[in-house]
Amino acid sequence: MGQRMYQWLDKRLHLGPVKMALLNEPIPGGASWIYVFGSITLFFFLLQMVTGMFLAIYYSPSTEHAYISIRYIMDEVAFGPFIRSLHHWGASAMMVVIGLHMLQVFLYGAYKRPRELLWIVGIVLFILTLAFGFSGYLLPWDQRAYWATQVGINIVGTIPLVGDVLVRIIRGGQNLGAMTLNRFYALHTLFLPWLVMALVAVHLFILRRVGPAGPWDEVRAARFQEPFWPKQVAMDAVAIGLVFFIVVAFAIASPAPLANPANPSDTTFMPLPEWYFLFYYQLLKYLEGPWEIVGTLILPLLFFAALFLLPWLDRRKERRPVSRPMVMSAGVGFLAVVVTLLTISIREVSSIPKLDPSVLRGKILYQELDCAGCHRIHGEGEATAPDLSYVGDIRDRDWLIRHFRDPQAVVPESEMPEYGLNEQELNDLTSYMLVLKR
């Protein structure tokens, strides 16, 4: 049936040349598992596109409704938590595989002539991927998103001469608010996807024109060639399936986090970026005062300049790693610094008390309202009203907020008075109740 359908389409669309261009490209040295990372990166970009489109159906890019819409996705939409978690973990997976893809190209010297343009387009795609991660982080409009983005924008503001102008452009004004959220949403869902799709097309076009580099052993590459179809396609499919299974497992076992709604006045919240920016944040801790410009401007410029100029800095024809000692030493040194800073940062983050400031405020509010005069928590307090020791196991956020706002409307026989709590107090008290679990 499939063959007959292909023949029917081929007679009308002349698919033969397309098939030849896409599947019959010769791979020097034959198919290999080391070549799968490019296809996996493309797969995760498409996964982010699909899951992002489903999230956009319910998302509202305004400071009044962004958090509420994410909460609605998590609590009310069928498969909403899974789709959002798949999008969340897919972003991390994309960062990992694009890094591995660049590492493989670097190791094999595949950036050398005649593939300089292929390397440059790949670096631009890497930068756009980082922009995807940074712009998407703000969209939930929770405490984590707000304060981490605030720190990121403040870093941009330290750039001499143009820092203040760039900050106003990014924010859309003097403060991080509605215009900032709208700009990040437009960047994340409109500008970046089209740019990435265009550059992926250019990347593939250049690859088809210059061909894969193959192994660094030129003798082996010249002795044996193998078409992209079917062996390399099968390897790519198996690798994609395996990595996708891992991401699905993470999405199920560890749903995407969502902190309390963004509160610009709550300066007690500890801002943390996503893990792939942690090493850079850790570096900035050691470069304070007059050294700050080194971390915010000089080192990033030198790093990306070195990446763009690498094909011309490493001009030797030989691609074997042992024949490129200076370049390989620089690469190993950079990875060692990144891994060291990331390890230190993760250790410091793991040592931070996990109690959210909102939970602490909720606990204080519980005491100020003298709730222990009726309720008991782990043996402390009176028992004239329901025990709250494990209320987080049986009630969700929506139920608790409705109950605190109007107790009799939710539980008609309740003797709890209306305290007239504002939205912040409702969220704080609810956050405290939700951590009371077995």
Amino acid in the structure at residue 74: M
Q: How far apart are CA 78 and CA 89, in angstroms?
A: 19
CB-side neighbour CA atoms (13 Å) of 135: 21
Q: How far apart are CA 140 and CA 149, in angstroms?
A: 11
What does the pLDDT read at residue 33?
94
User: In the numeric block, which tokens belong to residue 417?
Assistant: 């008075």
Residues ≥6 apart with Cβ < 8 Å to 218: 319
Which H, E and C letters describe 42-66, residue by residue? HHHHHHHHHHHHHHHHHCCCCCCCH
Q: How far apart are CA 299 and CA 295, in angstroms?
A: 6
- Quote the pTM value: 0.81
Amino acid in the structure at residue 8: W
Class of domain 357-434: mainly alpha
Rg for the chain, CA atoms, rounded: 27
Q: What does the angle CA 332 – CA 334 – CA 338 come to, to the nearest 5 degrees?
A: 115
Q: How does pLDDT run along the chain (438 residues), one tens digit per residue? A: 667 887 888 788 877 777 776 677 888 988 899 999 999 999 999 999 999 999 999 999 999 999 999 999 998 999 999 999 999 999 999 999 999 999 999 999 999 999 999 999 999 999 999 999 999 999 999 988 998 999 889 888 888 888 889 999 999 888 899 999 999 999 999 999 999 999 999 999 999 899 898 888 877 777 888 888 889 999 999 999 999 999 999 999 999 988 888 888 776 677 788 899 999 999 988 988 888 889 989 999 999 999 999 999 998 888 999 999 999 999 999 999 999 999 999 988 777 665 567 787 888 888 888 898 888 887 778 888 888 888 888 889 889 999 899 888 888 888 888 888 888 888 888 888 888 887
Kindly report the number of other CB atoms within 10 A of residue 293's CB atom.
15
Residues ≥6 apart with Cβ < 8 Å to 305: none
What does the pLDDT read at residue 124?
98
What does the pLDDT read at residue 352?
64
User: In the numeric block, which tokens belong to residue 85?
Assistant: 């978690």
Amino acid in the structure at residue 96: V
User: In the numeric block, which tokens belong to residue 39?
Assistant: 């296809």
What does the pLDDT read at residue 235?
96
What does the pLDDT read at residue 259?
82
Give residue for tokens 């509160």. Answer: 263
Q: How far apart are CA 118 and CA 165, in angstroms?
A: 33
Fold of the domain built from segment(s) 21-272+287-315:
Cytochrome Bc1 Complex; Chain C (1.20.810)
Spans of all domains in the chain: 21-272+287-315, 357-434
What does the pLDDT read at residue 353?
60
CA 295 to chain centroid, in Å, comes to 22
What does the pLDDT read at residue 315?
87
Q: What does the angle CA 172 – CA 46 – CA 187 come to, to the nearest 5 degrees?
A: 5
CB contact burial 263-276 (16+ within 10 A = b; e otherwise):
beebeebebbbbeb
